[in-house]
């Protein structure tokens, strides 16, 4: 027979396991980040991310005038120019590594930046999800043991 404290502990542990598993699966399956930013006059929008070889990236920038600085690994795209009205960037990563994109608004209107960037997920996020799942299993185990044999003082 479960005691009230054991049932609460098993419930809390189950919620931790379910949430940890959900977010772990979500972080493993989604490495495409949708970009939808607005850049004010005189401001910049910076993107720095790691991408693997053959990842597909795309960005569209619209506004009166803007400066784009872009560097991709190896012999990939390297841009350092001023543009007016609109630019569409669409590329595949040639090598694994860090991509750097800086978009500076130099015009008299706001910029609209849209696109999809495919990046490698941070391994610390993966580890944090595993810690949450492990904690949930530990809470369930301790609560189940307390329902079988209650230690003194509980």
Report pLDDT for 16: 94
Asked if 46 and 10 sit in the same domain, the reply is no
What is the value of pTM for the model shown? 0.63
* 5-33 CB burial, b ≥16 within 10 A, e <16: ebeebbeebeebbeebeeebeeeeeeeee
Q: What is the DSSP letter of 34?
A: E
pLDDT given at position 35:
86
Over residues 39-55, the pLDDT tens digits come to 889 899 898 888 888 88
Task: For residues 135 and 59, state if they share a domain.
Answer: no
Number of domains in the chain: 2
37 in the same domain as 14: no
37 and 110 co-located in one domain: yes
- 136, 153: one domain: yes
Per-residue pLDDT reduced to its tens digit, 11-36: 999 999 999 999 888 877 767 788 88
Q: Which domain holds residue 128?
A: 1-30+123-154
Q: What are phi and psi of 145, to 5 degrees?
A: -65, -40
Q: Which residues have C-beta within 8 Å of that of residue 50, sequence separation ≥ 6? A: 96, 97, 98, 99, 119, 120
Does one domain contain both 22 and 41?
no
Alpha-carbon span 138 to 143, nearest angstrom = 8
Q: Give Cβ neighbours of residue 153 (< 8 Å, ≥ 6 apart).
A: none
pLDDT confidence tier of residue 153, bands split at 50, 70 and 90: low
Q: 3 pLDDT band (50/70/90 cuts)?
A: confident
Is it the case that residue 150 has pLDDT exceeding 70?
no
| Closest by CA position to 59, among listed 42, 33, 35, 77 | 35
- pLDDT tens-digit series, residues 99-148: 899 999 998 889 999 998 888 777 788 889 999 999 999 999 888 887 77
pLDDT in tens, 49-104: 888 888 888 999 999 999 999 998 887 788 899 999 999 988 888 888 888 999 99
Same domain assignment for residues 96 and 50: yes
């Amino acid at each position: 027979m479960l005691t009230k404290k054991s049932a609460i502990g098993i419930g809390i542990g189950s919620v931790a396991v379910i949430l940890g598993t959900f977010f772990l699966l979500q972080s493993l399956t989604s490495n495409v980040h949708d970009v939808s930013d607005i850049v004010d006059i005189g401001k910049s929008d910076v993107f720095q991310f790691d991408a693997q070889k053959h990842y597909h990236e795309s960005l569209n920038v619209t506004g009166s005038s803007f400066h784009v600085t872009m560097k991709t690994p190896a012999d990939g795209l390297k841009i350092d120019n001023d543009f007016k009205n609109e630019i569409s960037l669409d590329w595949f990563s040639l090598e694994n590594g860090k991509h750097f994109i800086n978009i500076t608004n130099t015009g008299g209107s706001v910029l609209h930046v849209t696109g999809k960037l495919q990046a490698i997920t941070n391994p610390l996020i993966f580890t944090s999800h595993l810690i949450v799942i492990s904690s949930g299993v530990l809470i369930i185990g301790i609560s189940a043991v307390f329902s079988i044999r209650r230690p003194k003082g509980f």
